[in-house]
């Protein structure tokens, strides 16, 4: 039998307020409890650094490295579902961050960072920003998920971005060279769109299925907008936009204008903060279902204060949806007394109390 996939060990040195922490998350669910500011989110951040090589926190969170120290180091051992244990390390010294993986990335992955054997999906504070924020956030989210279904998407996307930049440069220099780029631009644009649309179709089906458990989501839909009008060719759209593009100085149609939207359904204007958080969590759960259906490695769920903003019924329902995936979960909860809250009935639960060092 294949071993149960999961993070087996984690060592953190000099990350935010954590000077040193060793963890052996040897169960399916690890619940980190502690007071506000104890460092729970920083533990999730450490795992995210190992998986993605970058933080999920913005500059407002301040420097990653503990004040007075010169480097941050995170090391972990991850057991994939069908291979030997992989060791991962992230080291940041000043502005330089290096992440390495042993054995090196699997041959078929081509070494790209986003194909790390350790995959995580986060539901964190500000989950709402995915729906309320800039469309570029949603495009990045969408593309990340498309990559994990179809690894070749990375190259298509890279080629498209290069041609988009060349096309934008041609617009800025008066447009006379545009014809040179448009054929290639359109071919790549259609290719990017095809792969995004294929992912969206599966993602939407899983999302709507998950919505069934939440009455406030009845009638909700997940729509994909490809970046140019339905029923129109991209070529004719670009012709129609030519003057505007020259005036604005960049491309106004195509995959760089794509987006996805949650349509709340008839008679509903929008969602509350807690409801939006549920929607974002379901988008993550639905994406994971698609990835698993395509034979991808299960992710580790990083659930930062899942209960925040949710009433007990919704929080329990959402937690059971994550628990039902069978994936490893590393969750946090504000509790000074070790109360597991909604995680109380979880099988195979380990708790770890994060203490503020000072």
Ligand X SMILES: Nc1ncnc2c1ncn2[C@@H]1O[C@H](COP(=O)(O)OP(=O)(O)OP(=O)(O)O)[C@@H](O)[C@H]1O
Query: Where along the sequence are the contacts to ligand X (CB under 6 A)?
Result: 16-17, 34, 36-42, 62-63, 65-67, 332, 334
Q: What are the φ and ψ backbone dihedral angles of 51, each rounded to 5 degrees?
A: -75, -40
Shortest separation between residue 31's beta carbon and ligand X, angstroms = 13
111 labeled part of a ligand binding site: no
The residue (of 55 and 65) whose beta carbon lies closer to ligand X is: 65
Identify the three-state secondary structure at position 60.
helix
344 labeled part of a ligand binding site: no
39 labeled part of a ligand binding site: yes
> CA–CA distance from 39 to each of 18, 103, 151, 254, 334 (Å)?
7, 30, 35, 42, 11
Contacts for 194-199: CB closer than 8 Å, 24+ residues apart: 195/146, 195/150, 195/153, 195/156, 196/142, 196/143, 196/146, 196/224, 196/226, 196/255, 196/258, 197/224, 197/226, 198/149, 198/150, 199/142, 199/145, 199/146, 199/149, 199/150, 199/290
40 labeled part of a ligand binding site: yes
168 labeled part of a ligand binding site: no
Q: At what angle do helices 273-293 and 178-211 cross, to 10 degrees?
A: 100
Shortest separation between residue 139's beta carbon and ligand X, angstroms = 28
Sign of torsion, CA 273 279 280 285?
positive
62 labeled part of a ligand binding site: no
The residue (of 129 and 241) whose beta carbon lies closer to ligand X is: 129
Q: Cα(152)–Cα(192) distance, rounded to whole angstroms? A: 11
Q: Cα(150)–Cα(329) distance, rounded to whole angstroms? A: 25
Shortest separation between residue 72's beta carbon and ligand X, angstroms = 9
The residue (of 42 and 128) whose beta carbon lies closer to ligand X is: 42
110 labeled part of a ligand binding site: no
Q: Find all residues with CB under 8 Å of 126, minimum gap 6, and list them.
A: none
Q: How far apart are the first and last CA of the chain?
A: 45
Shortest separation between residue 185's beta carbon and ligand X, angstroms = 43
The residue (of 40 and 167) whose beta carbon lies closer to ligand X is: 40
209 forms beta bridges with none
The residue (of 42 and 327) whose beta carbon lies closer to ligand X is: 42
The residue (of 68 and 212) whose beta carbon lies closer to ligand X is: 68
41 labeled part of a ligand binding site: yes
The residue (of 60 and 269) whose beta carbon lies closer to ligand X is: 60
Q: Cα(76)–Cα(311) distance, rounded to whole angstroms? A: 34
The residue (of 134 and 355) whose beta carbon lies closer to ligand X is: 355
Shortest separation between residue 334's beta carbon and ligand X, angstroms = 5
Shortest separation between residue 333's beta carbon and ligand X, angstroms = 9
Shortest separation between residue 6's beta carbon and ligand X, angstroms = 22
Give the closest residue to 5 by CA, choosing from 347, 340, 292, 289. 292
33 forms beta bridges with 333, 353
Contact 34, 346 (CB under 8 A): no
Shortest separation between residue 343's beta carbon and ligand X, angstroms = 15
Binding-site residue positions for ATP: 34-41
């Amino acid at each position: 039998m294949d071993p149960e996939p999961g993070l087996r060990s984690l060592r953190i040195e000099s990350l935010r307020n954590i000077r040193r922490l060793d963890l052996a998350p040897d169960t399916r669910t690890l619940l980190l409890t502690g007071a506000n500011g104890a460092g729970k989110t920083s533990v999730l951040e450490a795992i995210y650094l190992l998986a993605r090589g970058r933080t999920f926190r913005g500059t407002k969170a301040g420097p990653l490295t503990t004040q007075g120290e010169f480097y941050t180091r995170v090391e972990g051992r991850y057991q994939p579902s069908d291979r030997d244990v992989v060791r991962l390390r992230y080291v940041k010294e000043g502005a330089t961050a290096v992440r390495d993986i042993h054995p090196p990335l699997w041959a078929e992955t081509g070494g790209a960072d986003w194909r790390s054997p350790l995959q995580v999906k986060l539901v964190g504070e500000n989950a709402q920003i995915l729906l309320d924020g800039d469309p570029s956030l949603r495009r990045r989210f969408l593309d990340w998920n498309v990559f994990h279904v179809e690894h070749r998407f990375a190259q298509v996307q890279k080629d498209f971005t290069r041609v988009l930049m060349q096309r934008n440069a041609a617009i800025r220099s008066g447009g006379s060279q545009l014809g040179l780029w448009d054929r290639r631009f359109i071919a790549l644009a259609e290719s990017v769109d095809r792969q995004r649309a294929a992912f969206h179709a599966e993602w939407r089906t899983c999302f709507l299925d998950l919505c069934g458990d939440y009455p406030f989501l009845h009638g909700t839909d997940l729509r994909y907008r490809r970046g140019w009008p339905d029923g129109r060719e991209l070529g004719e759209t670009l012709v129609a936009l030519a003057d505007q593009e020259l005036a604005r100085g960049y491309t106004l149609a195509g995959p760089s204008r794509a987006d996805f939207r949650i349509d709340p359904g008839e008679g509903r204007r929008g969602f509350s903060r807690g409801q939006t958080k549920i929607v974002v969590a379901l988008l993550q759960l639905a994406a994971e279902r698609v990835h698993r259906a395509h034979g991808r490695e299960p992710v580790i769920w990083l659930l930062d204060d899942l209960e925040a903003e949710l009433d007990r019924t919704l929080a329990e329902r959402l937690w059971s949806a994550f628990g039902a995936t069978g994936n490893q979960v590393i969750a946090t909860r504000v509790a000074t007394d070790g109360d597991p809250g909604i995680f109380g009935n979880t099988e195979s639960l380990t708790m770890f109390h994060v203490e503020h060092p000072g």
